[in-house]
Amino acid sequence: MSTSLGETKSFRSQAVILFAYFFVFGVGGASWLVRLPDVRSYINVSTAVLGWVLFAGSVGALTSLLISGRFVARFGARNAVVVGFTVLGIGQIIQALSLVGESPIGVALGGLVSGLGYGIGDVGINVEGAELEKLRGKSLLPQLHGAYSLGALAGAGIGTLAIVTNFSLVIQMITIACLTTSIAWFTYRQLPDSTGKTHVVDGGVRSKREPVVLSKRILFLGLGIMGLSLAEGGSNDWLALSVVDDYKLDTTTAGITFAIMTLAMVITRFSGGRLVDRFGRVFALRTLGIAGVVGILIVILSPTIYFAWVGAALWGAGVALGFPLFISAAADGENTSQRVATVTTFGYAAFLVGPPLLGFLGQAWGLLNMFYLLAFFVACAVYFAGEAKPLTSK
């Protein structure tokens, strides 16, 4: 009885720590994005040049994701967390100091460093979350990603409040960087040391790594997370603008539309665990994915913004569990770090690189017409979701 109680307390403490990690990840990114107009003013560049400056962060994140699986397999997930958070904080401080020096190159370099830290830290917390989920026997990653969404909402609020009160962007960035890094350093030792490390069999011989690149299952999981991540990223970048450009409505209405979609994502992530625990990952992904396709089509075809709001809610709910559930599926079995890193790379490649490319199609076709492509990718994810069933059920 006492052992069971001790394990329960350990699970809870680890879950709280992971919730904090996901939350601060959301805070840092959103508080920065809200103040991009200020960033542009500091370094005195055009919007196009700012886009290239920001792209350095995506390059850093994707580069880091390619090597993070090996890092976790060798050093463990908790070390990936503390290293990732530390490098992320250093990059953010470099960016802040570069704003003082009005240096676009410095901001880009800091973004590259931040991206490197973000990638390895993200894989670390997802591997930790997936392992705790398996030990707990109930879904946890959806709620953890819900914490990220809450952090993003909080970060947007912090950034907006800072704008209203004329609070220094430089001080804001340095403060958040120090808090993020400090949280990791003060808590990471409370996580298990062995999580994510390559399994060691009797005699001390390391088991061979699964050839994840050639695995049909990992490929399909990667394509599934790519489809839903592209639809999520596309909504973040282009949904509000489509309300202004295609529905011909004001920015306030556009903001309401985006807020409805974001709120639907948060609610689905915190409540979707019950759906997964009762009916399984495949049912949850396919049911919500179909709802997402319907929602996108409603946004495209709706004669009024009020129906579009319903569509936006379905869109948000439809993509909300894509990241956590496909990652959870990738973590089935032993030696999870390489598989989780591979699937995560698919997701972030779509989330970070896809939406800017969609902008070119939106320019040529119109944003609402471009959304048909997002509906197609979500439909593809519904098909690939079949590979998310537990390995033990085969």
* pLDDT per residue of the chain (394 residues) written in tens, 0 to 9: 344 545 556 778 888 999 999 999 988 888 887 787 788 888 888 767 877 888 888 888 888 888 888 888 888 888 999 999 999 999 999 999 999 988 999 999 999 999 999 889 988 898 888 888 887 778 888 889 889 888 888 888 888 888 888 899 999 999 999 999 999 999 988 888 877 776 544 444 454 444 445 578 889 999 999 999 999 988 877 888 888 888 998 877 887 888 888 889 889 998 888 889 899 999 999 999 999 999 999 999 999 999 999 999 999 999 999 988 998 888 887 767 778 888 888 888 888 778 777 878 888 888 899 999 999 999 999 999 999 988 764 4
Tell me whether residue 207 is in a domain. Answer: no
Both 231 and 360 in one domain: the answer is yes
Listed in order, strand segments (DSSP E) in 216-260 are: none
> Is 330:342 a contact under the CB 8 Å cutoff?
yes
Both 185 and 273 in one domain: the answer is no
Both 184 and 237 in one domain: the answer is no
Tell me whether residue 17 is in a domain. Answer: yes
Give residue for tokens 């985006």: 258
Both 28 and 172 in one domain: the answer is yes
> Is 78:190 a contact under the CB 8 Å cutoff?
no
Tell me whether residue 146 is in a domain. Answer: yes
**95: which residues sit within 8 A by CB, 6+ positions away?**
106, 107, 110, 111, 114, 173
Tell me whether residue 4 is in a domain. Answer: no
User: Comparing C-alpha atoms, which of 185, 192, 173, 145 is closest to residue 23?
Assistant: 145
Angle separating helix axes 337-365 and 47-75, nearest 10 degrees: 160
Distance CA 320, CA 285 (A): 9
Both 314 and 351 in one domain: the answer is yes
Both 159 and 240 in one domain: the answer is no
Range of the domain at 346: 212-393
pLDDT tens for each residue of 80-132: 999 999 999 999 999 999 999 889 999 999 999 999 998 899 888 988 888 88
**100: which residues sit within 8 A by CB, 6+ positions away?**
170
Q: How many CB atoms lie within 10 A of CB 202?
A: 5
Distance CA 46, CA 49 (A): 5
Both 133 and 19 in one domain: the answer is yes
CATH assignment at residue 253: 1.20.1250.20
Both 253 and 132 in one domain: the answer is no
What's the pLDDT at 205?
Answer: 47
**Domain end (from 120, 155, 190):** 190
Distance CA 188, CA 215 (A): 32
Give residue for tokens 């886009």: 51
Q: Per the structure, how many domains does the chain have?
A: 2
